[in-house]
Structure 1
């Protein structure tokens, strides 16, 4: 019986201490006890904005604003379609593991080029809508994590960009 009462008292004391630590105004068990004038002004400004139903930026806020779609549904993805298509065509011997047109990333698995003996995997990043070398980043990795010569990476990038230009010329003749 005494042990039961002691447990209840310990629980009540713990709750009181926890609540006192959560006290507002910067005080409480672990706080400094006082707020600076600047902190008080910020607190008062936030409280006033909350009472008025406005945010700090001045826009009206309500619970229903959480459910309104605020993003523009007509947002376009800024990935060059010719570089994207050329990447898939030039590296068609590599199995595709993941494709994300919204971020412009293509990740492939290991595969051997036609007539080649060494297996490669690639990660292609199309980062700009311009048909430009700066829009394309290619990372190659050899089987077993072996590094690939920069000349090989450059040759793959050049092949992709050449094919992208061919695709654009073909489309302009339509």
Structure 2
């Protein structure tokens, strides 16, 4: 069984009282918990793939069983400083946008849990989330990559070398 008290602490940090009678709120909640677990936060919920992407029946049971606590954001649980930073990063990137969270969490779940390549995951997203605009799909995938896949020092050095000349030329052209 999952750690519903810690899940409430996540939503408290996001200032997001979960009303389980609101469909969009449930999408935001499910995808937030899934992404935080994929990032390494221990909430102990099992997720699988369903119609709207990654979904945990156990988490659903918990937020219905503890409806008032989720709505009032009261659990007594506190996140560590590292967990607070993780939650803030996710919230700053996705801004509680249900479609972007659905796209991002579905893409990440496919890549991480079904051992599909990013190209295969993108194709699956396009097929299963065709009701979203291409720009939303691109934005959701971009944001989840930004959240989950942190660049290595080697990646950052390559990027600096790759974009450095363009940045210097841009700065120089602004002087004229």
TM-score range, shorter chain: under 0.3
Rg bigger for which structure?
1
Q: TM-score, normalised by structure 2?
A: 0.24
Larger RCO, structure (CA 8 Å, separation 6 or more):
2
More strand by share: 1
Q: TM-score, normalised by structure 1?
A: 0.24
